[in-house]
Structure 1
């Protein structure tokens, strides 16, 4: 009896504390939070650069599967041979997909409505009959992109067409668009890796004040050069990992924009060689940085860089002593407001490692740049 009395008193004591605590919190607007279903999703799974492909097993072995592999497993441009694929593509037959695989960070679902297999029937159940009938009657496939379907930071892309021929034509005609959908997601993932230790806000503010551009700088990067001349400049940042032999490098150069003749890949490479000879030297060997485009062709394309016209270049760099080399990625960006040309680049040195994930890390840093 005495124990029950003590228990009751203790229970009511803690209950009163809880009610008081809840009452005080309810009056504080700052403590209020609106939850959505996304807050309760598990984190997405999967390695860097990976796409989980869900499609009919027979289609995977046929021409449709070959078209998908050609699109996403093409070699990385500007990489040494044997080149690494742009993405790792893992095929999962729909009948073998479990809850764990449904939480993959990047999922590509392809459905050819002409297929009548068990795999295709499983995929059909993801859509209403009305939607499938409308797709079957259309002359082009349907592309649907969804975020956070079964996990946080997840992207699921659905491509549905009436038959294999229609889907293959769509894949071949929209290569860059279909790659870019997953590439943006991968760039974000690489950004989170590169900046997991935070930013160097002081240095970032100094560059904005002294050079007039913005760029986010991860912790761990050291300043190798800071040249500020009249209307031109050069900033060189490095993360040197001697223990593992994996160096990451980023630089920003700028000069006046005087002619459209400057807007070509060859002109960019010529400027890059000048920068290498002037600022990126190996004093121990008397060599400097150049490129290997005389041996291995470069890749270039015109792009929209956050609203500005730009030229993207991917190729291989080397020291003139032939003692070091690796892939680089650069962007020539036109700032018409300041009449400036910017060239921003990331390059890596990782002779005994796969290089794709590291080049994507420096790429994610470049995409924080603002003139």
Structure 2
């Protein structure tokens, strides 16, 4: 073989190898929203290690009226990763090895993908790593799933003009939501489903309604109850939507579109009625325009699972960006 032919063959092999690697990396990750693949041998899965994994990653979602798991879990033995390229979006690999280690590899087999590697010399070592790293794993997966839902939503969104003109924000709302109520400072969009409906509320109030000498949580609850009294009622008289009084909502301080925001998760009910369900409420403190912008999602789906309905509403709300006037 002469030198020219050898160089040509070498170049061809290099290009083929690069193409192979590129194909692996760019393979699209698949799977249902809020699902994790746990790669772990049966012996560990059926031990206290498996119990810990189930307790952490299938724990009840906060703010729902009945228990639903944070994630759906599928377990596979570790031998399936030997020579097998998985395309699950979220994978947790747990093994006994000589080194105690925790590692996150992004897009290892597909994209977008998180692969969390946990190795320990003993079951106790693995449990210790799980205890320390589970919050990071959960936060990473939740963010990935929100972004994946937002990609799906973006494929078919409502004309943004009405929301933009009224509140000066961009918000990706799927086309299966329809305007139910359109007031000067209030919008109610609703999606009908077989078992009920999902709703999205957008409105704004002066900042001092939220931040004043009174308790912040109480102010937000009073605000949303007053909105319920104005706009959201049952079929009978005096059946306004209120924050359920029997359970205190969960409350967090976060950032949305780079601004201070308050997140509240809990359950709503119709006063003097039987209807109820979960809600998520976000109050964005928009100092530049002297307002508190409120985005709320709630659903009514009696006797049906609500986790993924609320996940979609959270993904919609977290797509928000405030438009410069």
Q: TM-score range by the shorter chain?
A: 0.7 to 0.9
Partner of 1:345: 296
Partner of 2:265: 314
The structural deviation recorded for 1:277 is: 0.6
Query: d(CA) in 2 for partners of 1:364 and 1:184?
Result: 10
> 2:247 matched to 1:305?
no
Query: d(CA) in 2 for partners of 1:112 and 1:304?
Result: 39
Give the counterpart of 2:202 among 245, 252, 275.
252
Partner of 1:30: none
Query: d(CA) in 2 for partners of 1:365 and 1:103?
Result: 26
Partner of 2:32: 47
Query: d(CA) in 2 for partners of 1:165 and 1:246?
Result: 46
Q: CA RMSD in A?
A: 2.8
Partner of 1:279: 231
> 2:165 matched to 1:209?
yes
Partner of 1:145: 105
Taking structure 1 as reference, are residues 298 and 173 closer, same or farther at Cα in structure 2, changes over 3 Å only?
farther
- Paired residues in the alignment total 302
Query: d(CA) in 1 for partners of 2:298 and 2:173?
Result: 15
Any idea what SS the aligned residue of 1:102 has? coil
Query: d(CA) in 2 for partners of 1:212 and 1:224?
Result: 20
Query: d(CA) in 1 for partners of 2:69 and 2:259?
Result: 28
Any idea what SS the aligned residue of 1:37 has? helix
Residues 1-371 of structure 1 aligned to structure 2 (within 5 Å): 37-38=22-23, 42-81=27-66, 83-97=67-81, 102-114=86-98, 136=100, 141-147=101-107, 149-161=108-120, 163-196=122-155, 198-201=156-159, 204-228=160-184, 233-241=185-193, 244-258=194-208, 259-261=211-213, 264-292=216-244, 294-371=245-322
Taking structure 1 as reference, are residues 36 and 246 closer, same or farther at Cα in structure 2, changes over 3 Å only?
farther
Query: d(CA) in 2 for partners of 1:96 and 1:40?
Result: 19
The structural deviation recorded for 1:94 is: 0.6
Partner of 1:24: none
Structure 2 unaligned residues grouped into runs of 5+: 1-18
Query: d(CA) in 2 for partners of 1:322 and 1:199?
Result: 34
Query: d(CA) in 1 for partners of 2:263 and 2:111?
Result: 31
Structure 1 unaligned residues grouped into runs of 5+: 1-33, 115-131
The structural deviation recorded for 1:279 is: 1.4
Contact kept, 8 Å, 2:24 with 2:110, in 1: the verdict is: no
Query: d(CA) in 2 for partners of 1:37 and 1:263?
Result: 54
TM-score by length of 1: 0.72
TM-score by length of 2: 0.82
> Which of these two proteins has the greater Rg computed from alpha carbons?
1
The structural deviation recorded for 1:41 is: 5.0
